[in-house]
Homo-oligomer: A and B are copies of this chain.
Amino acid sequence: MAAAGLSWVRIGEFAWSRLEPKEGAYDFDWLDRAIETLGNAGLKVILGTPTATPPRWMLDKYPDMIALDDHGHPRGFGSRRHYCFSHAEYLEECRRITMKLVKRYGSNAHIAAWQTDNEYGCHDTVLSFSGAARSGFRDWLAQRYQSTDALNRAWGNVFWSMEYDTFDQIGLPNLTVTEPNPAHALDFRRFSSDQVVRFNRAQTDILREHSDAPLIHNYMGRVTEFDHFDVGQDLDIASWDSYPLGFLEDRMEDGDPHKCAYAQQGDPDFQAFHHDLYRAVGGGRWWIMEQQPGPVNWAPVNPAPLPGMCRLWAWEAFAHGAETVCYFRWRQAPIAQEQMHAGLLRPDSAAAPALAEATQVAEEIQGMPEVATAQSHVALIFDYTSDWAWTVQPQGRGFSYFRLVFEIYRGLRKLGLDVDILPATAADLSDYKLVFAPGLFALSADLKTALSRSNAIAVIGPRSNSKTKDFAIPTPLPPDLPGLDATVSYVETFRADMARPVEGGGHVLHWFETLETTAPTTFKMTDDRPLLVGDAGIRYLAGWPDETALARMLDELCLTCDLQTTDLPEGVRIRRTESHKFVFNYAAEPREFDGVELAPADVRWTRL
């Protein structure tokens, strides 16, 4: 590892059965030796708490600690993440093992960071329909609403006689005859997210008390079931596990031609989006904890990266401000579930192809002065609550909040723009020229204030501010934006094959709102209905634009804001730091840009 130029190594994150083979009988010798060996080689160690894999004896002790799926089926022992976030006794056990670890290693000089658990939410593990979750949810509701009268009013339970007399009558929103009350479903998601925060905080409280090393969690790609901003409050650094090829095949709605074109490179924007998102979650500090080094084992198909892509991915991360890029894993494990997951070494310890690329990156990064993140001119709001809300109530096949935000991100990046992602609680937008808040469930008072104080053009909508926090339609009707006379009088969703034409080019997909407005119309439909209205700071967008319509709008908005855009060839992306401009070629073919021929997987940088 040291010879390859690596400086960090993460260990221990699934090792509970070796740390505590029997309840109360600990064995730290092997870990002592491992840390010593690694540290002596000059490596900094990230020590993971092993709470994602409770050992088998734990389930003998607490048979009800497992989660139930939404059909009520148990999700038991035999892989990982077999616990319910709401189980009080298991939480206590996690506190105990964390305490043991940090007391032993909290002041060990080689331990340079801590990782809590592993990939919260992976394998759909945030939502649990267990007895522990049900009783936790009732307590959470009782604290939030204080009385069932208040809850009944907030949820509108008079509809369909769904009123409750006591909190103990309230169930989880699964197994209902038809869909549950969306207010019920959304509160369950809020609760479930809070349980993740609570679970994580139980560990960070202990770790902070006994160690000065920074605290990290490794998030996943497109896991939105818990609020990462909330979890991030208790950590020092956000990190995430970046698997560009697996994500393309497994977690993106794009069609086959796109997936074929990028099968060995990954989507050109998906990783960048998460880099920007987790930079915000980490308050500016973020890492890659796991970078894909070759074929993995878990996607529907598992091709190899094109030569050079491991280097490209690493540099894209650094260009977005990553402090560290770690690879997963060092040596391909010949056993168990991930035996087909490539490492930097093969199972026989020979070098796998990515090792040379990792080594090259390590050398190159030595020659690069610190890559300071530049202030972007464009902000895009990403809000986990909105994702929960529209998952609960899509109102039309094809409406995905994540996707809506991502497509605007992609549109901006295709114009060569750098983007900051902000939470919906953002209270200061003064640094931006252009702000987007698509699909934002409800605008907070803070955000309204920030918008009105900012000089930026803010593009709000579609579907933004369309609900009260209790998931009801407010009066006056949405969007109810300061300084903009516009009312959504009618909402339509439509078939994917019925895109509606926009005057001048492009279409609206999935979602369209008929507006009553006296505001000037910048873009309209071919039937004259307004699509983008407003001419002052706040604009409202009344539909989901396709790629062409979006590009036209962004062009015009950038022109208005005096933001310079760049004409990029298909598959080429750029990113600026304070000091450098980076160019990446995600295409499988050579591309020419700025008079330079870029090979597939090429990365170039120039001083600004």
A336 within 8 A of B: yes
A76 to B340, CA, bound (A): 38
Q: Specify which of B21, B60, B397 is in contact with A301 (CB 8 Å cutoff).
A: B397
Query: What's the nearest-Cβ distance from chain B to residue A85, in Å?
Result: 13
Q: What is the 8 Å Cβ interface bit string for chain A, positions 65-88, against chain B (1 contact, 0 not)?
A: 001000111111111111000000
A10 to B81, CA, bound (A): 51
Q: Specify which of B160, B165, B474 is in contact with A53 (CB 8 Å cutoff).
A: B160
Closest to A259 in B: B495
A73 to B176, CA, bound (A): 10
Identify which of residues 145-197 in chain A touch chain B, using a CB-to-CB cut-off of 8 Å. 155-165, 169, 171, 173, 175-184
A337 to B160, CA, bound (A): 9
**A161 and B346: CB pair below 8 A?**
no
Closest to A256 in B: B497
A15 within 8 A of B: yes
**A336 and B155: CB pair below 8 A?**
yes
**A165 and B56: CB pair below 8 A?**
yes
Stretch at the interface among A220-228, A366-374, A486-494, A574-582: A486-494
A324 within 8 A of B: no
A348 to B480, CA, bound (A): 13
Closest to A296 in B: B395
Query: What's the nearest-Cβ distance from chain B to residue A441, in Å?
Result: 13
A24 within 8 A of B: no
Q: Specify which of B74, B158, B334, B395 is in contact with A475 (CB 8 Å cutoff).
A: B334
A122 to B178, CA, bound (A): 9
**A498 and B162: CB pair below 8 A?**
no
**A353 and B490: CB pair below 8 A?**
yes
**A348 and B477: CB pair below 8 A?**
yes
A252 within 8 A of B: no
A101 within 8 A of B: no
Q: Which B residues lie within 8 Å of A155 (CB)?
A: 335-336
A450 within 8 A of B: no
Identify which of residues 310-345 in chain A touch chain B, using a CB-to-CB cut-off of 8 Å. 332-340, 342
Q: Which B residues lie within 8 Å of A15 (CB)?
A: 161
Closest to A83 in B: B177
Closest to A124 in B: B177
Q: Which B residues lie within 8 Å of A122 (CB)?
A: 178
Q: Which B residues lie within 8 Å of A473 (CB)?
A: 332, 334-335, 339, 347
Q: Specify which of B54, B79, B184, B340 is in contact with A78 (CB 8 Å cutoff).
A: B184
**A490 and B352: CB pair below 8 A?**
yes
Q: Specify which of B180, B259, B490 is in contact with A79 (CB 8 Å cutoff).
A: B180
A8 within 8 A of B: no
A33 within 8 A of B: no
Closest to A82 in B: B177
**B491 and A161: CB pair below 8 A?**
no
**B163 and A55: CB pair below 8 A?**
yes
A425 within 8 A of B: no
Q: How many copies does the complex hold?
A: 3
Chain A interface size range: 35 or more
Query: What's the nearest-Cβ distance from chain B to residue A574, in Å?
Result: 28
**B477 and A346: CB pair below 8 A?**
yes
Q: What is the 8 Å Cβ interface bit string for chain A, positions 207-229, against chain B (1 contact, 0 not)?
A: 00000000000000000000000
A50, A78, A80, A347: which has the most chain B beta carbons within 10 Å?
A78
A534 within 8 A of B: no
A384 within 8 A of B: no
Q: Which B residues lie within 8 Å of A339 (CB)?
A: 156, 182, 471-473
A165 to B73, CA, bound (A): 25
**B395 and A346: CB pair below 8 A?**
no
A16 within 8 A of B: yes
Question: Known: A77-B176, A182-B339, A490-B295. Is A162-B56 also a contact (CB below 8 A)?
Answer: yes
A350 within 8 A of B: yes
**A177 and B125: CB pair below 8 A?**
yes
Q: Specify which of B260, B342, B492 is in contact with A303 (CB 8 Å cutoff).
A: B492
A396 within 8 A of B: yes
A539 to B123, CA, bound (A): 41
**A336 and B183: CB pair below 8 A?**
yes
Query: What's the nearest-Cβ distance from chain B to residue A265, in Å?
Result: 13
A123, A162, A260, A263: which has the most chain B beta carbons within 10 Å?
A162
Q: Specify which of B21, B77, B181, B263 is in contact with A336 (CB 8 Å cutoff).
A: B181
A595 within 8 A of B: no
A336 to B60, CA, bound (A): 42
A56, A294, A495: which has the most chain B beta carbons within 10 Å?
A56
Q: Specify which of B60, B160, B514 is in contact with A14 (CB 8 Å cutoff).
A: B160
**A175 and B73: CB pair below 8 A?**
yes
Q: Which B residues lie within 8 Å of A489 (CB)?
A: 346, 350, 352
Q: Specify which of B57, B79, B302, B493 is in contact with A178 (CB 8 Å cutoff).
A: B79
Query: What's the nearest-Cβ distance from chain B to residue A249, in Å?
Result: 8
Query: What's the nearest-Cβ distance from chain B to residue A537, in Å?
Result: 26
**B56 and A169: CB pair below 8 A?**
yes
Question: Known: A56-B162, A161-B50, A303-B492. Is A334-B78 also a contact (CB below 8 A)?
Answer: no
Q: Closest 6 CB pairs between A and B?
A: A156-B335, A17-B161, A159-B336, A334-B473, A53-B161, A78-B176
